[in-house]
Amino acid sequence: MTSAFTSLPEPRYPDPSDAPALRWGVIAPGGIAADFTDALHKHTRQRVVAAGSRTAERAAAFAAAHGVDRSYGSYEQLVSDADVDVVYVASPHTQHTEHALLAIAAGKHVLIEKPMAVTAADAQLIADAARAAGVFAMEAMWTRYLPQTDIVRQLLDDGAFGDVRVVTADFGGSARFDPASRLFDPALAGGALLDLGVYVVSWASFALGSPASVIATGSLAPTGVDEQVALILSSATGAQALLSTGLRAGTPSLATISGSTGRVETDSPFWSASGVRFYDGDGRLAAHWVDPYGRPHREGMSYEAAALARYVTEGLTDSPLQPLDEAIATLATLDEARRQVGVADLGVGSSEGR
């Protein structure tokens, strides 16, 4: 049997510095905003030119630490900055809808940290507003824009795996139970599914599309948020995705796609730059691609920013690699999984930075 994987396609956008330069504003200068800003400045020609916080002191400290020109003590001031082309919404997900709508109303393009919102209905509000305003909006599912994902995408598009039947992914972390932390606080929409599970459900969507049925089982933390969840997502053709996520035990963070003529298995972790192994239909290892580019962990967020810059420059208002409708469908799956495991309240809260 001739393997389709002996000569792998090349990643189409391996260098994020090739993307056009945009000027970014950051809402909520916490840990993920810091990593995003540093990744942009290290690996792209784009620049974060403004940071906004609820306090002028926090915004100024972030700006000084990360080479940002201007800082503002309110989000309204940030989105009103005429020199900002696009706003990165880095606040906790309970605030994504409010902050994305604020930026869109100011005519700014938006990149919204995952999950795009707490519920599919809220994500739809963002999508509707962006489309009405004619601005670009995208969920920051950075895994979709990694070079390794582009190799797998090209092979999927070419039918190299044949009839895809089984998809797997896991992402679990070990977190000490703290009822006041964002992970376990229902008022902040805590729980495994919205924090880590969005990655595994998005991987299944990447391989199979939106599911025709969702089966979820799991356990709740004492605060009522989902603590550990296993999912079976079935497609209209009968293909299945077997997924798991949780907050109390670290798991390998591996993902696979298996079809009638071959399969792919990622290295760990699948959600950031690592590597991929390709097996032919007889189960023989045909190729092992290891990321050579030196942008590990959250430095890989530079790829999603580069993709957004290309799309905006091309006049697009939606990502061709993960359209808004797909991000909304992923949240609909998470909505249903949370309902099935017994999460009682989606929650609304207020906290800044992650």
114 is catalytic: yes
**Whole-angstrom Cα distance, residue 25 to residue 47?**
9
- Please enumerate in sequence order all residues whose Cβ is within 8 A of that of 193, keeping only pairs 6 or more positions apart, or say none: 201, 226, 229, 245, 334, 337, 338
Structure tokens at 205: 């969507």
Give CA separation, 181 vs 32, 114, 171, 250, 354, in Å: 16, 18, 19, 18, 11
* Strand arrangement, sheet containing 275-280: 213-220, 226-234, 240-246, 164-172, 255-259, 262-266, 275-280, 285-290
**Whole-angstrom Cα distance, residue 287 to residue 14?**
19
Q: CB neighbours (10 Å) of residue 298?
A: 16
Q: CB neighbours (10 Å) of residue 105?
A: 12
Q: Is 113 exposed, middle or buried (0-12, 13-18, 19+ CB in 10 A)?
A: buried
**Whole-angstrom Cα distance, residue 176 to residue 293?**
34
Q: Is 231 exposed, middle or buried (0-12, 13-18, 19+ CB in 10 A)?
A: buried
Catalytic residue, candidates 58, 70, 93, 114: 114
* Strand arrangement, sheet containing 109-113: 70-72, 47-52, 23-27, 86-89, 109-113, 137-140
Catalogue the active-site residues.
114
